[in-house]
Amino acid sequence: MTIRPVLRYPDRRLASPARPVTDFDDALRELALDLLDTMRAAPGIGITAPHIGVPLRVVVLELDAEAGPQTYVNPEITWTSPEMILHRGGSVSMPGINDEVQRHARVRISYQDLDGNMHAEESEGLRAVCHQHEIDQLDGMFWIQRLSRLKGERLIKKFEKMSRSSQAG
């Protein structure tokens, strides 16, 4: 279990689609534990393997400390509700920046667990938003691409300014 460095936007690796996991082994379990430690240290409620420079389709979410973390391997959205909701989005790769993003209110996903067993899950609200956000990241779509061009450019400028002032200090 290790806290790994998180890639910062606009690292080009964040724009590359992740590869499906084919080996369900100890290395995958170790990656999932590293993702959990890294996400908690960030802090965040969701993280993907691409966030730490590993181009594999692995997501770890922890939305509720009591329920504990959930690992999704090779997740895919199989259904989306027509109803949409606005939810404040952000990323461990762009700390300090967030904005309202429109997402489906409910989704159904299929995924594998760390042993390769297939599962399906239907979610709503925050969990549905997180599923969509992290699967977008696995597909190489950074969350600000869901915003208008003007809003996205404004947030990028703000992040660049924040990054420069934190490096200068």
Please state the three-class secondary structure of 69-86 as a single string: CEEEEEEEEEEECCCEEE
Contacts with 15 (C-beta within 8 Å, 6 or more apart), sequence order: 140, 142
Measured CA to CA, the distance from residue 166 to residue 93 in angstroms comes to: 15
Give the per-residue pLDDT at 169: 59
Residue ranges, the chain, pLDDT below 50: none
Measured CA to CA, the distance from residue 12 to residue 43 in angstroms comes to: 22
What is the number of H-type helices and E-type strands within the chain? 3, 7
How far CA 65 is from CA of 2, 62, 68, 95, 98, in Å, comes to 20, 7, 5, 21, 23
pLDDT for 110-154, tens place per residue? 999 999 999 999 999 999 999 999 999 999 999 999 999 999 999
Which residues does the annotation mark as catalytic? 134
Measured CA to CA, the distance from residue 59 to residue 137 in angstroms comes to: 10
| Total number of residues shown for the chain | 169
